[in-house]
Chain A
Amino acid sequence: MEENFLSLDDILLSQERLPVRTECVFPRLGFLEKSSDSQDIPEGTKMELPLWLSKGLYEKKRKVLSVELPKVYKEGWRTVFTADPNVVDLHKMGPYYYGLGSQMLHFDSPENPDIAKTLLQTFIGRFRRTMDSSQNAYNEDTSVLVGRLDCLEKVLFRSGQKGLNGFQSWEKGQASQLTASSLVLNYRKRKLVDVQA
């Protein structure tokens, strides 16, 4: 799964932090590591770097960095996911469970095939529930339903709701009614809040 250069979601996903260990010295960048006051980042330092930086620095041939797998993708959690993907709160574990997992495959690891398999099986295992909740919930507070979904599933939930809501409003005869743009209404609401504040 490759990132989309201009997507805000993908930029936020690549901001997720990964545990890494430096495999060489990074001279004159010591100030990035708050726990030390040396001028350089010494070799063997354990720190957290965002995905985009880990990806940018990572090279197979000349290792300057080794990246550790976040624990949700390790074997222990993989077993949990395989047992019953529906019990897991992917929002809490993620919220970019699928996206980050796919990105982790860029880093060489013998566990990669198993990670890829678990990601797919988890998605498939949770699909029915995502579909049913998005296609049944009409005119109700959906925050509970969405609460445990990963970002990718949330997007699906929203497109399911769009289909349902469109049909329901057609059935009630509201589809041909011209309405004010929601953008316009939201601006007005905001202006009101500004005035009250």
Chain B
Amino acid sequence: MDPSEVEFLAEKEFVKIIPNFSLDKIYLIGGDLGPFNPGLPVDVPVWLALNLKQRQKCRILPLEWMDVEKLEEIRELERKEDAFTPAPSPYYMELTKLLLNHASDNIPKADEIRTLVKDIWDTRIAKLRLSADSFIRQQEAHAQLDNLTLMEINTIREFLLDSLNCMYKLRSNLQPGSTKGQFADY
């Protein structure tokens, strides 16, 4: 998958906005949105929130986990644990980028949040590589990918699948008689 496709999926997540206009309920294939009243918070998908924000039609409320204290806690836990801890959101990386790039004026301590999320990401990616290596080293047949997010898996997917294919082929060499003695005709 291209990362832009992963980001596209993240844009379906909901976020609270405070509009500065009024509009009746709108009916879309993906569900009904609104009604919109000035000053009253309403849930909309991220793609719409960003579009309204760019046209200065709303203020975006930070997601509940976009908070320095909460993120610091998550970072410490992530560093302490060997396994992957639950991510703040299945799209934490994408949402951070989207919201901080387009609505940083609505999110307090935006720079600190950016750094914290990047720290969490780096810690998790380092873990991911460590476990990929031990997976290969111990010749495991399956692995548990609990709590990994799509973007994380996506950065290593092709590499890991190719590696596992190689290892599978080299391992099947160990079974005598699997292909031995009978050649394909070329």
Residues of chain A whose beta carbon lies under 8 Å from any beta carbon of chain B? 1-3, 5, 52, 55-56, 58, 60, 98, 102, 105-106, 108, 112-113, 116-117, 119-120, 123-124, 127-128, 131-132, 134-135, 152, 155-156, 159-160, 162-164, 166-167, 169-171, 173, 175-176
Q: Does B123 touch A at the CB level, under 8 Å?
A: no
State which residues 171-186 of B face A: CB under 8 Å.
Answer: 171-174, 176, 179-181, 183-184, 186
Question: Contacting chain A: which of B25-33, B141-149, B157-165?
Answer: B157-165
Task: State whether A131 touches B159 (Cβ < 8 A).
Answer: yes
CB-based A-B contact count at 8 angstroms: 109
CB-CB under 8 A for A135 and B156, given A60-B181, A102-B170, A120-B171: yes
Query: A105 to chain B: which residues have CB within 8 Å?
Result: 173, 179-180
Interface of A is mostly: helix
Task: State whether B3 touches A170 (Cβ < 8 A).
Answer: yes
Say which size band chain B's interface belongs to: 35 or more
User: How many angstroms between the C-alpha atoms of A175 and B7 in the bound complex?
Assistant: 10
Interface of B is mostly: helix
Q: How far is the CB of B186 from chain A (nearest CB, A)?
A: 6
Question: Contacting chain A: which of B35-43, B63-71, B76-84, B131-139?
Answer: B131-139
Task: State whether A164 touches B173 (Cβ < 8 A).
Answer: no
Task: State whether B167 touches A120 (Cβ < 8 A).
Answer: yes
User: How many angstroms between the C-alpha atoms of A166 and B172 in the bound complex?
Assistant: 33
Q: How far is the CB of B115 from chain A (nearest CB, A)?
A: 14
Q: How far is the CB of B31 from chain A (nearest CB, A)?
A: 24
Task: State whether B166 touches A123 (Cβ < 8 A).
Answer: yes
User: How many angstroms between the C-alpha atoms of A116 and B173 in the bound complex?
Assistant: 6
User: How many angstroms between the C-alpha atoms of A128 and B183 in the bound complex?
Assistant: 34
Within 8 Å by CB of B155, from A98, A112, A124, A166, lies A166
Q: How far is the CB of B85 from chain A (nearest CB, A)?
A: 21
Task: State whether B179 touches A127 (Cβ < 8 A).
Answer: no
Closest Cβ neighbor of B139 among chain A residues:
A124
Task: State whether A127 touches B163 (Cβ < 8 A).
Answer: yes
Within 8 Å by CB of A120, from B156, B174, B183, lies B174
Q: Does B55 touch A at the CB level, under 8 Å?
A: no
Task: State whether A131 touches B132 (Cβ < 8 A).
Answer: yes
Task: State whether A163 touches B156 (Cβ < 8 A).
Answer: yes
Closest Cβ neighbor of B167 among chain A residues:
A123
Within 8 Å by CB of B3, from A58, A135, A175, lies A175
User: How many angstroms between the C-alpha atoms of A36 and B55 in the bound complex?
Assistant: 85
CB-CB under 8 A for A2 and B163, given A131-B132, A159-B158, A175-B2: no
Q: How far is the CB of B177 from chain A (nearest CB, A)?
A: 11
Task: State whether A5 touches B173 (Cβ < 8 A).
Answer: no
User: How many angstroms between the C-alpha atoms of A117 and B172 in the bound complex?
Assistant: 10
Task: State whether B184 touches A116 (Cβ < 8 A).
Answer: no
Task: State whether B154 touches A163 (Cβ < 8 A).
Answer: yes
Query: A3 to chain B: which residues have CB within 8 Å?
Result: 184, 186
User: How many angstroms between the C-alpha atoms of A1 and B157 in the bound complex?
Assistant: 23
CB-CB under 8 A for A163 and B174, given A105-B180, A156-B162, A176-B4: no
